[in-house]
Amino acid sequence: MENQIPSHQHNFYSEIKKILASAKTKVNSVVNSAMVEAYWSIGKRIVEEEQKGEAKAKYGSFLIKELSKQLTEDFGKGFSMRNLKYFRQFYLLFPDFQIGHTLYAQLSWSHYKLLFRVNDIDARRYYQKESVENQWSVRTLDRNISTQYYQRLLKSPSKELVEFEMKEKTKDLELNPENFIKNPSVLEFLNLPTNFAYTEQELEKALIDDIQQFLLELGKGFAFVERQQLVRTETSDFYIDLVFYNYILKCFVLIEIKTEKLSHQSIGQLDMYVRMYDDLKRNEGDNPSIGILLCADTDQTIAKYSVLNDSQQLFASKYLTYLPTEEELKAEIERQREVFKERLKDN
| pLDDT value of residue 243 | 92
Encode the chain (347 residues) as per-residue pLDDT tens digits: 445 556 666 678 888 888 877 777 777 777 788 888 999 999 999 988 887 765 555 666 778 888 989 998 888 777 888 889 999 999 999 988 877 777 778 888 888 988 988 888 999 999 999 988 888 888 888 888 877 888 888 877 777 777 777 777 666 655 555 555 455 666 666 555 544 333 466 777 888 888 888 888 887 889 999 988 887 766 667 788 899 999 999 999 999 888 777 677 777 888 888 888 888 888 889 998 989 988 877 566 788 888 766 677 877 778 888 888 888 888 888 888 777 777 665 55
DSSP 240-284: EEEEEEETTTTEEEEEEEESS---HHHHHHHHHHHHHHHHHTPPT
Give the single-character DSSP code of 217.
Answer: T
Q: Where are the domains of the chain?
A: 7-189, 200-346
Count Cα neighbours of 263 within 13 Å in the Cβ-side half-sphere: 18
Residue 57's pLDDT is 53
Can you state the angle between helices 138-146 and 264-280, rounded to 10 degrees? Answer: 60
Q: For domain 200-346, is the CATH number 3.40.1350.10?
A: yes
Angle at 343 between CA 342 and CA 346, to 5 degrees: 90
Backbone dihedral region for residue 78 (phi beyond 0: left; psi -120 to 50: alpha; all else: beta): left
Amino acid 88: pLDDT: 92
pLDDT attached to residue 43: 92
